[in-house]
Amino acid sequence: MVVRTQKYTRKRARETDRISLTVNGQVCTMEVGTAPHQIDPAHTLAYTLRETLGLTGTKVSCDHGACGSCTILIDGKAALSCMTLTVECEGKRITTIEGLGDPGTGALDPLQQAFVDHTAFQCGFCTPGMIMSAKALLGENPSPTEEEVKEGLSGNFCRCISHYHVVKAVLAASCKGR
C-alpha cells in the first residue's frame, strides 16, 4: 500500500514516491508529491503531459470528458487524458500525437499525412484528439467501414464541422484506402 500525501513524501524513502510511465517510447520517472516539480495525486495525465513534460500537442478543451480533444493512447487504446489521474498510470505505455511521426526522419504517420492530404481540419484544435482516436480505431480494425469510422470517432467533437473530411481521411489511411 502506497499512501501518497505531502506528509508521507517527506518522511518516506524517495523510491516509494516515484511513478514510471512510458511516453512515446521514452521511460519517464517522476516524483509524486505536492512540490512544484512533483506530480500531485490530483494531476490529470493531460496536465502532466502538457505542463510537466511539455508535450503540448495534446489539447484540453472541455476538461470533463465530453469533447475528445485530449485523447491519447494508453496501451494502444483511446483514452481521455483529462479524465485519467497520472498517478494511476504506473507502468502504462502512453502515446501522444508527438509519438506518431518518425523522430529520426521527421516523416509523418500515414494517418497524419491523410489528414493533411484531405485538409481534415479547419482551426485544428480537435485534430490531435481526432488522429489519436482514429489511430486506436485502425489499430483494432485496420479496414473499417464508413459507419465504423463514425462510431470510432463519435467521442471527438469539432466545432468547425471538419467531420466529413476527417471520415474521408481515416478511410483513405485504412487498408481499404491503400
Partner 1 sequence: MRSFAHINARTIDEAIALLRRYRGRAVLNAGGTDLLSTLKGEYLSRYPEVVINLKTIPDLDYIREDDGLLRIGALARLSDIVRSPLIISNCRVLADAARSVASPQIRNAATIGGNLCQDVRCWYYRYPRHIGGAIQCARKGSGPCLAVKGDNRYHAIMNGKRCFAVCPSDTAVALAVLDACIHVSGPEGDRTIAVTDFFGPLTNALRSNEIVREIEVPKVSGLSGQTFLKFTVREPIDFAIVSVASVITREEGVCTDVRIALGAVAPGPVRAGKAEEMLKGNRIDEEIAARAAEQALAGARPLSKNAYKIEIARTLVKRAILK
Q: Is 152 in the site for partner 1 (CB under 8 A)?
A: yes
Q: How far is 21 from 23, CA to CA, in rounded Å?
A: 6
Q: How far is 45 from 39, CA to CA, in rounded Å?
A: 10
Q: How far is 124 from 103, CA to CA, in rounded Å?
A: 22
| Among 11, 37, 64, 178, contact with partner 1 (rule: CB under 8 A) | 64
- Scanning 38-46, 53-61, 113-121, 158-166 for contacts with partner 1 by CB under 8 A, the matching segment is 38-46
Q: Is 166 in the site for partner 1 (CB under 8 A)?
A: no
If you ran DSSP here, which 8-state letter would residue 96 be given?
Answer: -
The smaller minimum CB distance to partner 1, of residues 99 and 152, is found at 152
Task: Please answer whether residues 160 and 122 qualify as being in contact, where contact means their C-beta atoms are separated by less than 8 angstroms.
Answer: yes
Q: Is 20 in the site for partner 1 (CB under 8 A)?
A: no
CA atoms lying within 13 Å on the CB side of residue 166:
29
Footprint (CB under 8 A) of partner 1, residues 92-131? none
Q: Which residues bind partner 1 (CB under 8 A)?
A: 1-5, 8, 32, 34, 40-44, 63-66, 68, 71, 77-80, 82-85, 87-88, 133, 136-137, 151-152, 154-156
